[in-house]
Amino acid sequence: MIQVSLITESILKGIIPISTNNTITTPLTQTIMDSQEFYIRPILCTPLYEELQTQIMNNTVTPDNQNLLDIIYPCLAYWVYYRYLVNNWAKVREQGVVNQNGNTATTISLNDLTFLRGEAESSAKMYEIRLQRFLQDNEALYPLWKCECEETCATVPLKNRRFRYI
């Protein structure tokens, strides 16, 4: 299946504190796609995840799925931010991994980066819980949510679920 972003650039920039001067380039696009795969797909399960992607691609998102997307946006945005902070902090160049400095800008320290990532992760996890509860409270609206994904699927009770955070 073709990978489709669940979130638009304007929605992403409206949620997380990245400059509106940043454009969605290949590294950020890949960060969005990775975040969807690592954090959102296990919650939604593959059938519902693929249904959302198909509806977005075909511009046929149902009202119920739009409500679900509205709950997904902040969760996904903060996971993107969590992962993108590292990608934006250091770049891989011919010389190796480098921190770039502009004429008037300096990079933040590793301690500051760690703090920002911790804050982003806390927000992402809080919105993740909201997403899981939304699906549990509205499971009749999302029949594709029921699948056989074992411990990583949102059909497993919250207290028994194991997520692998990267």
Distance CA 26, CA 130 (A): 29
Long-range Cβ contacts of 47-56 (<8 Å, 24+ apart): 47/144, 47/145, 47/147, 48/142, 48/144, 48/145, 48/147, 50/1, 51/144, 52/6, 53/1, 53/2, 53/3, 53/4, 53/6, 54/1, 54/4, 56/4, 56/5, 56/6
Predicted structure pTM score = 0.79
Query: Which stretches of the chain score pLDDT less than 70?
Result: 1, 19-26, 88-107, 147-166
| Per-residue tokens: 6 | 């669940």
Give the model's pLDDT for residue 92: 56
Question: For residue 3, which of 53, 43, 71 has the smallest C-alpha distance?
Answer: 53
Question: For residue 121, which of 162, 85, 154, 159 has the smallest C-alpha distance?
Answer: 85
User: Does residue 80 contact residue 32 with C-beta atoms inside 8 Å?
Assistant: yes
Give the model's pLDDT for residue 137: 95
Give the model's pLDDT for residue 114: 86
